[in-house]
């Protein structure tokens, strides 16, 4: 009885690992994977993971956002406006938001100090 339970536990662990890794238990020569596209063509893309997600009733992941590009001269408003896509794995949102808020405040403080120094130099006639 103990051996049966050990074998059953091992099979459960292996099965869970296969499902979690996104690999199919089907033969490669069988069903061809198809992922539906926005235009409904159903062209072949992706791989077996698309079939598994549909079989398990999981929704397709959100399309990746384009890379976040900041302008050459970054202002506090640029940093404050940055938003990232959500994913199952990644950084904690509260920590990222806190760091971005601190960075935006530091940039705003730096910009205010630079403007103050430029004004001071202009008043003294040192800057054209």
pLDDT digits (tens, 9 = 90+) for 37-52: 544 545 444 454 544 4
- Token couple for 127: 């800057």
Residue 96 — pLDDT band, cuts 50, 70, 90?
confident
pTM over 0.75, yes/no: no
Q: Which pLDDT does position 89 carry in this prediction?
A: 73
Residue 38 DSSP class = T
* CB atoms near residue 80 (< 10 Å): 14
Tens-digit pLDDT profile for residues 1-25: 899 899 999 999 988 887 877 755 5
- Mean pLDDT in the chain? 72
Report CA 71 to chain centroid distance, whole Å. Answer: 21
d(C-alpha 109, C-alpha 81), whole Å: 17
Instruction: Count CA atoms closer than 13 A to 22's CA, side-chain side.
Output: 9
Residue 28 DSSP class = T
């Amino acid at each position: 009885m103990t051996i049966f339970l050990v074998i059953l536990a091992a099979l459960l662990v292996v099965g869970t690992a296969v499902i979690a890794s996104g690999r199919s238990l089907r033969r490669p020569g069988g069903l061809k994977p198809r992922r539906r596209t926005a235009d409904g063509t159903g062209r072949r893309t992706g791989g077996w993971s698309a079939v598994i997600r549909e079989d398990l009733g999981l929704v397709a992941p959100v399309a990746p956002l384009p890379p976040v590009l900041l302008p050459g001269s970054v202002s506090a408003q640029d940093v404050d406006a940055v938003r990232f896509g959500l994913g199952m794995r990644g950084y904690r949102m509260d920590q990222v938001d806190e760091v971005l808020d601190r960075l935006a405040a530091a940039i705003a403080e730096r910009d205010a100090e630079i403007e103050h120094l430029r004004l001071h130099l202009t008043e003294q006639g040192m800057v054209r």
